[in-house]
Structure 1
Amino acid sequence: MEKFDLLAQRIDSLIQELNRLREENHHLREEGKRLREDLELGQMASEELQEKLNAEVSVRTEAASRVDALISRIQSALPMPENQQNG
């Protein structure tokens, strides 16, 4: 009879452990789901930031090109200094 009581206690203990593990598994799944959602949001934000950065670089490159062209036009319209005319 004593062995049956020990067996019953062991079974109860294993059932409690199983329930604890199920609960922990549930929490881990929820955490994994939340982390995946956060990752997806982060990737979207990263893609948006990359697009904005690319647009900014494009605008700056265009502005620098226009400024260079304007400087060239201004320089070509200015008279050459005397020391460069004789050079």
Structure 2
Amino acid sequence: MSQTEALELLAKFARGDVKETVVVGTTMGAETVEKELDHKTQLNAIKEVLRFSKFSNDITEQQVRKAKADADMAEAKVKLLDGNNGEIQPEG
């Protein structure tokens, strides 16, 4: 199961789109009945979706910070190698 599939399934649990099949004893024996998920299960699914979302956002923020730092380092190296602090000297 991929992360996307897992997250989609958790979202279905959280919305209550998934039904649970339970066996119920009756005077005639036993029968299966579909029922909605209990609120505790839905709440746990919501917590997991939110936890994953925060984790994903934290990773994205760190990737952006790293990319900016890499760009700043590259710019600083160019200035050092240029020797003119990035200023363009006229030819001639």
What's the TM-score, normalizing by structure 1?
A: 0.52
1:28 aligns with 2:36: yes
Note the residue ranges of structure 2 that are not aligned, 5 or more in a row.
Answer: 1-32
For these two proteins, the number of residue pairs brought into alignment is: 57
Shift of 1:60: 1.0
The equivalent residue for 1:5 is none
The equivalent residue for 1:56 is 63
Question: What RMSD over aligned residues (CA atoms) do the two structures have, in Å?
Answer: 2.5
- Give 1 or 2 for the bigger CA radius of gyration: 1
1:42 aligns with 2:55: no
Shift of 1:28: 2.8
Cα displacement string for residues 10-58 of structure 1 (whole angstroms, at most 9, x for unaligned residues):
xxxxxxxxxxxxx87xx3352x432321111010011011111111111
Higher helix proportion (structure 1 or 2): 1
The equivalent residue for 1:71 is 78
Higher strand proportion (structure 1 or 2): 2
- 1:42 is paired with a residue whose SS is helix
- 1:85 is paired with a residue whose SS is coil
Shift of 1:85: 3.3
Identity of aligned residues (%): 11
- Superposition misfits of 4+ residues, deviation over 2 angstroms: 32-36
Greater RCO, 1 or 2 (C-alpha within 8 Å, sep 6+): 2
